[in-house]
A and B are shown apart, each in its own frame.
Chain A
Amino acid sequence: MDPVTRRNFIKSVIAAGATASSVGYLFRGPNTVIGQSSAPGAVERLITLNVNGQMRRVDVLKNETLAMTLRYKLGLTGTKLGCDRAECGACTVLIDDVPHYSCSVLTHTVRSRAVMSIEGLENPATGELHPMQRGVVEEQGFQCAFCMPGFIMSAIGFLKVNPIPTRQELAHGVSGNLCRCQDYDKILTALTKGAEYMRGASNA
């Protein structure tokens, strides 16, 4: 998949037949009024998404972002919206193992891809935490933790391409994520611990 840039995003919106106005970000709920005149992008289409290893059937708008689908259609509220404009990374999810800002990905573009959100990290059979989650819990990596799901997904995605990063490389790997409690020191320590556990798990 092409890297997500604003340009690609806007192109994608236009390709979907929707306008790239701010209305594109707004949410149209499941209880659409009958007889309503059809605004641009107002028609929902039933699609199938692969989310956290499950095939989910969901009605989406042409201009609906993945963050809104996850949060408001699939009940996966662990993905947070901090800015809705690709600035803060709180909404980061993995798409085919690559971190993406889900606020800036149109849902219809990920139909044939594997989407992983924070809720998909635990072992579905045992309920065991993902090694990265374990590292974050043990080091108490975050404070208010609103940014935590995004940081964890970014870190896991980054570690797939660089499994043994230096502390500085890991900082670069998650530099698309903002934290306002701002103990970046402890965040890095926790993610480093998680990276160690991930290596241990893959060697086991």
Chain B
Amino acid sequence: MRVTFCNLALPLVLAAAAGVTHANSDVERLTADPKNWAMQAGDMYNQRYSKLSQINAGNANKLQVAWTFSTGVLRGHEGSPLVVGDTMFLHAPFPNKIFAIDLNTNKIKWKYEPKQDPAVIPQMCCDTVNRGLAYAEGKVFLQQADSMLVAFDANSGKVLWSVKNGDPSVGAVNTNAPHVFKDKVITGISGGEWGVRGYVAAYNINSGDLVWKGYSTGPDDEMLIDPGTTTTWMDGRVQPVGADSSLKTWKGDLWKIGGGTTWGWYSYDKALNLMYYGTGNPSTWNPAQRPGDNKWSMSIWARDVDTGKVKWVYQMTPYDEWDFDGINEMILADIPVKGNMTKALVHFDRNGFGYTLDRTNGALLVAEKYDPTVNWATHVDMKTGRPQVVSKYSTAQNGPDVNTKGVCPAALGSKDQQPAAFSPKTKLFYVPTNHVCMDYEPFEVEYTAGQPYVGATLSMYPAIGPGKTGGMGNFIAWDAGTGKIVWSKPEKFSVWSGALATAGDVVFYGTLEGYLKAVDNQGKELWKFKTPSGIIGNVFTYEHKGKQYVGVFSGIGGWAGIGMAAGLEKDTDGLGAVGGYRELNQYTDLGGSLTVFALGN
């Protein structure tokens, strides 16, 4: 389907937030019913919280396997299935097979296997993952790796429309899940390691027509930024970004291959009519080649869902030197922050800082380390909003062809895309973290469209320095009002699964060895089960015929699991690139299946 840009004319007057109408009322109704798991995060706020309480802290130790399903695909299984009424919708890594399963009979109602050019596979930096489906108004939406966004009739599996969202020939492929907010299905793009210029795009859910597209870098009108009304946090207050806020921070034309990709989890506040998401790293990984703040890579964005117009934007890591992508989920929660009840946005960034902002205007309220070994910056200056970089760990200051050692966190961050959960009951966030440090050596590279444009080599290993546990991950509880770790449960490997919090006062997460674990609100382990393969998917829950079920994909992969080595040589010179993850092959191999649990009878 040909895409045109004629409807991208920037409105002269920003639509008043008060004039907003309804969220997609079908999705809103479905997510309000806790029997469903109708969105990837369970709801539009990215809270990953369920009101179901049949499974609770008292009986979780009686969980048993209820049923299982193999996707028939190996490699990393991220995201989770959706459950709408009596149907479960599943997806898989490349080639992105999808299934609709009748929960009454466990029969496959329909399935679909996209035909995609295998040339797409090498363009996927960090495994051939797919973060899942979206559902609205009797339609299922799949964002394929080859950038095709496809809509299906949820009952029959018939293809309703498809649209090309990116250009795989330059490395613009997709791993993210699409999100339905109002009458739009919103998606992003990957390729920050290929010099792809990032964007988010909104398509009409009925026709697949492009409604708006907002870039991450470049001229104001292409980002849908209004210099006078789009604001950022600067000098201790919210103020307009001014003209050419991106262009001024790039040398020459480098913004055209500037990165700022958008492959994380999005959220939406219907009262404000704002969608929230983060942008990834600037291209290349060699900062010397791209002096300047590289705006608006590494930023938190709030866009009007109808027009795409940017209400506010805040850059967490100006002039990135470590690949701390800002794409992690934006969790919306109404919580007390420093004594005041606040419409908050909470974000656990790759850079090791947990941010709390006022989601109405982007005011910076809290920025504190959520792993004690974080050392590349001493703190975030709350007035300027800028991190205070430690020279020793600055890969730019040490320069190209110099191995900057002992930087914490590693490039995969104190948390990568694996999403955290929020409990409105406890007002705490439950966060799956990485506890990993790195050596990082940048070097000069040239850009060729369609070829990797990386420019650094790294090795990653279990965290070092004060606060280290000896392991590579922690599952933590976090108070976003004060910026404090409330409790921390160490794990041997990075906790790479999405968490789930429930009204039964049970919190679930999965480990890279393949355990699904249940803990109580104080972090005490209640139960665990070894599933067929390492877990990088998101734990979800639903109810069917009066019984509550908890499920998760198994299938090791993703960036952490990509180091499933084949016949490793001995480490030499301490530059063991796979480091601690190499031990994973003593616990798991590849897999691809869903395991669903319920209380035993």
Q: Do A and B come from one complex?
A: no
